[in-house]
């Protein structure tokens, strides 16, 4: 029985060595030393227990050793599962780190593309200033346009006055013939360039007799005649065009 205990002790220790070898992978010398120590420990325990308790204690020890072996096997299985989970967690961690690195690179890229808030404020201020300048310029142009409109009105009025004056002069300009004062020509002072055979007469009537002549002239030179309205007519021949003075 002592040999059986020694063998089981050696087997248990050998199994422990095997598990330790799977986890930590110790050197060959260390494994040999542990194996020898386990065998010796098993022999000593078998001899001592055999002497102390006799053969009646062996079955209980065997059962206890069996439970220890089962617990050790379960621990080894759980350890293997933990190692698998650790490997999976490490793989997940590496993947997450890679994703985080990609996100960080993307954030840096986006930050380079984003316009700083200060530049946005400066750009907005510049746009507002430019808009204000355009509004001021539009107001100035509006005032200038109003001034131009007023000037245009003045020019139109002046043009109308000049046109009326020119029309009056044109209406009052006459050449050869007999003209009724107040009807054909208005009263006023008239001038004509004259000529070698220039003749004019202020008439008090239109009978055609010499008694109608109030004043007359015949001869060259520039002529000036004032018609006050007391005359009935004015007769002229060869003096050119008469125009108001």
Domain that holds residue 219: 174-244
Together in a domain, 157 and 206: no
Of 139, 156, 172, the one marking the end of a domain is 172
pLDDT of residue 243: 94
Together in a domain, 193 and 235: yes
Residue 173: DSSP 8-state: -
Residue 212: DSSP 8-state: G
Pick the more confident residue, 208 or 81: 81
Residue 58 has pLDDT above 80, yes or no: no
Average pLDDT over every residue of 76-90: 90
Of 147, 172, 197, the one marking the end of a domain is 172
Average pLDDT over every residue of 185-210: 93
Together in a domain, 101 and 131: no
pLDDT of residue 72: 86
Together in a domain, 8 and 96: yes
Residue 39 has pLDDT above 80, yes or no: no
Average pLDDT over every residue of 213-217: 95
Together in a domain, 20 and 82: yes
Together in a domain, 12 and 58: yes
What is the count of structural domains for the chain? 3
Together in a domain, 181 and 97: no
Together in a domain, 81 and 92: yes
Of 51, 77, 106, the one marking the end of a domain is 106
Together in a domain, 130 and 190: no
Supply φ then ψ for residue 162, to 5 degrees: -65, -40
| Interatomic CA distance for residues 67 and 70, integer angstroms | 5
Together in a domain, 240 and 144: no
The three-state secondary structure class of 135 is helix
Together in a domain, 74 and 32: yes
- pLDDT band at 20, cuts 50/70/90? very low
Region of 226 please: left (phi>0), alpha (psi -120 to 50) or beta: beta
Whole-number CA gyration radius for the chain: 70
Convert the pLDDT of each residue in 85-144 to its tens digit: 989 999 999 999 999 989 888 888 877 776 677 777 888 899 999 999 999 999 999 898
CA dihedral 66, 71, 76, 82 (to 10 degrees): 170
Convert the pLDDT of each residue in 173-194 to its tens digit: 999 999 999 999 999 999 999 9
């Amino acid at each position: 029985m002592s040999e059986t205990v020694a063998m089981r002790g050696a087997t248990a220790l050998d199994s422990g060595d095997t598990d330790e070898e799977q986890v930590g992978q110790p050197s060959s010398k260390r494994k040999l030393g542990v194996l020898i120590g386990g065998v010796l420990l098993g022999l000593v325990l078998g001899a001592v227990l055999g002497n102390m308790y006799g053969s009646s204690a062996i079955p209980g020890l065997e059962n206890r050793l069996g439970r220890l072996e089962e617990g050790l096997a379960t621990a080894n299985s759980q350890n293997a599962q933990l190692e698998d989970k650790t490997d999976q967690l490490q793989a997940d961690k590496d993947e997450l780190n890679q994703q985080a690195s990609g996100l960080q690179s993307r954030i840096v890229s986006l930050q380079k593309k984003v316009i700083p808030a200060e530049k946005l404020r400066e750009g907005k201020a510049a746009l507002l200033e430019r808009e204000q300048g355009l509004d001021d310029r539009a107001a100035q142009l509006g005032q200038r346009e109003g001034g131009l409109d007023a000037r245009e009105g003045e020019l139109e009025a002046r043009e109308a006055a000049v046109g009326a004056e020119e029309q009056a002069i044109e209406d009052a300009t006459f050449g050869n013939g007999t003209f009724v004062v107040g009807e054909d020509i208005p009263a006023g002072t008239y001038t004509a360039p004259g000529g070698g055979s220039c003749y004019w007469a202020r008439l008090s009537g239109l009978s055609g007799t010499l008694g109608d002549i109030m004043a007359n002239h015949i001869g060259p030179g520039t002529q000036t005649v004032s018609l006050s309205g007391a005359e009935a007519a004015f007769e002229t021949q060869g003096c050119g065009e008469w125009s108001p003075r």
